[in-house]
Homo-oligomer: A and B are copies of this chain.
């Protein structure tokens, strides 16, 4: 085994995660759980190859070995990046790849039948990007006695409270994005091409720290500029930055697949009063939101604290002000898709939960964004990066 490709965590840590998953399976009366989200597979096994473009899945039976199904040619990558033993890994033949008349899940159903995994209640990820309608139809055709139910993002919820080792990884990702933001501020000037700044955001975040190199984040840098700042999820063009315009910057440091995002804004020239005023309000909003984060508070309480404040200024915001973060792959960005800081989310905060608190104000033709990634501690919210808040102005 090559030490370059050791899994990110010990075999014990992964076994603990599978055990927590099984505890929830037991509560829900699930006999089997089929995990297709790459982030969930990585969380449970460490698997880290760019193979989600083809069907793959981890099967967690309530008892017995977990088993992993992937395209045959990709099996060496499973052995290299996980603690799974070769008898837990099954590769479907090339003959099943992108064919109209058969599907990898036909083959997977066959292996499950051979192993006696062919009855009982099976939870599937019903709203996942990585388990398609065709996957499901093929699996169900091959396992007629299985009762399929929605997993309700079971593994995502297991991921919500991080271990201390995970928090260590996120602290490193937080240091990475903090440095990248500083270098990005330095680089943005009138006449500099947007793509050249995007290039350095990637380079700096993947170089990472001297003793901890980074990897590809789960989303490209979002960096709308000028009127584009009204759009939350715009990337960049090869046009230059212009004097008299602001740019919203939102990107993540990524270390061992743990994403820690950060948003700031920069203005080239003399900012208009409405933007300075918005920056001040949002700054205060961040203070009250972070102050509301503590064990025992509910997700919606955090949003309510923010809302009280901005309402006083005649502002409103339809979108949530944050969400749970952790392990991620494109295209789910850095979302865990569990907890949101928004009205109606009554999840109670616990230590070692992690959130991206994102205060994005997308107005008519302009906008402003500020965020912090935080870990919930006994003492409240602790920011994972340290970058001054407020609008950065370059005159």
Give me the interface of A with B, judged by CB distance under 8 Å: 2-5, 38, 48-53, 72-74, 76-77, 80-81, 93-94, 97-98, 100, 103, 124, 126-137, 150, 152, 193-196, 198-200, 202-208, 212-216, 219-220, 222, 225-228, 230-239, 318-320, 329-333, 335, 337, 340, 362
Chain B residues with CB under 8 Å of A195's CB are: 206-208, 213-215
Chain B residues with CB under 8 Å of A76's CB are: 230-231, 362
Contact between A130 and B131, CB atoms less than 8 A apart: no
Chain B residues with CB under 8 Å of A335's CB are: 53
Residue of B nearest to A207 (CB): B199
Chain B residues with CB under 8 Å of A198's CB are: 206, 215-216
Contact between A133 and B133, CB atoms less than 8 A apart: yes
Contact between B74 and A231, CB atoms less than 8 A apart: yes
Chain B residues with CB under 8 Å of A226's CB are: 2, 4
CB distance from A205 to the nearest CB of B (A): 8
Q: Give bound CA distance, A220 to B124, whole Å.
A: 28
Contact between B215 and A333, CB atoms less than 8 A apart: no
Beyond the given pairs A73-B362, A199-B204, 14 more chain A to chain B contacts, judged by CB atoms under 8 angstroms and listed by A's residue number, are: A2-B228, A3-B239, A4-B226, A5-B228, A5-B234, A5-B237, A50-B235, A53-B335, A94-B318, A127-B133, A128-B132, A195-B207, A198-B216, A331-B331
Residue of B132, B206, B215 touching A129 (CB-CB under 8 A): B132
Q: Taking A225-B4, A235-B216 as contacts, is the C-beta distance between A319 and B152 under 8 angstroms?
A: no
CB distance from A122 to the nearest CB of B (A): 13
